[in-house]
Amino acid sequence: LTKMETLKNRILEDGVVLGNDILKVDSFLNHQIDVELFNEIGKAFKEHFKDKKIDKILTIEASGIGLACLVAQHFNCVPVVFAKKTESLNLDKDIYYSEVYSFTKKKSYKVMVSKKYLKAGENVLVIDDFLANGKAMLGLEDILNQAGAKLAGVGIVIEKGFQGGGDDIRGRGIDLKSLAIVDSMEDGRIKFRE
């Protein structure tokens, strides 16, 4: 078994489907963290992005943080920056921010990064646990554009292919690597894209 087959098996064994479109993977990804698996995920992203110069990793709080840190260890321990969702940074002129609409939560929220931690010309790899409609990713892309930084690629653990965010990102020519793409979850049965 390849390591990423291990990930898919883990999703099949431990994943709980809620309704037709929410996949709960709290036992290894979103609540309890399987550090060994995260380490393998880091290796898999390194393998995919090995020819790229990566200066920094960008993610969003909360679930992305631990993941991005383990991934960074496979990219020469580059710094990890996480976009914040709470307005603890209230010095408007010192932050980049973007508005994100969450389909899961049915409301908009802001994502913010201090101007100190993203610089023009930096090559940034975006890492996140889930990709659904891709609105959070659009917010991060907007912030990278404001900073004049370059999006080197996107690494996702679980893409929900049926929600279209991933196809949109690939369609715009961005180097997106999703380690598992779930194409349907009807009647609780998880089907992966080949």
Binding site for ligand G4P (CB under 6 A): 22-25, 30, 60, 62-64, 102-104, 129-136, 160, 165
Q: Judge whether 132 is annotated as a binding position.
A: yes
**Beta strand residue intervals within the chain, DSSP E:** 16-18, 22-24, 56-60, 80-83, 95-102, 107-114, 123-131, 150-160, 176-184, 191-192
Q: Judge whether 135 is annotated as a binding position.
A: yes
- Least distance in angstroms from the C-beta of 78 to Na ion: 19
Can residue 63 be called a binding residue for Na ion (CB under 5 A)?
yes
- Least distance in angstroms from the C-beta of 38 to ligand G4P: 14
- Least distance in angstroms from the C-beta of 51 to ligand G4P: 27
Instruction: Kindly indicate which of the ranges 18-26, 31-39, 78-86, 127-135 contains the residues binding Na ion, using the contact rule CB under 5 A.
Output: 127-135
Q: Judge whether 23 is annotated as a binding position.
A: yes
Shortest CA distance to 100 belongs to which of 137, 75, 70? 137
Query: Residue 3 belongs to what H/E stretch?
Result: helix 3-14
Q: Judge whether 177 is annotated as a binding position.
A: no
Contact of 150 with 40, CB cutoff 8 Å: no
Note the Cα 44 to chain centre separation in Å: 14
Instruction: Kindly indicate which of the ranges 18-26, 79-87, 111-119, 129-137 contains the residues binding Na ion, using the contact rule CB under 5 A.
Output: 129-137
Can residue 178 be called a binding residue for Na ion (CB under 5 A)?
no
Contact of 160 with 182, CB cutoff 8 Å: yes
Contact footprint for Na ion (CB under 5 A): 63-64, 128-129
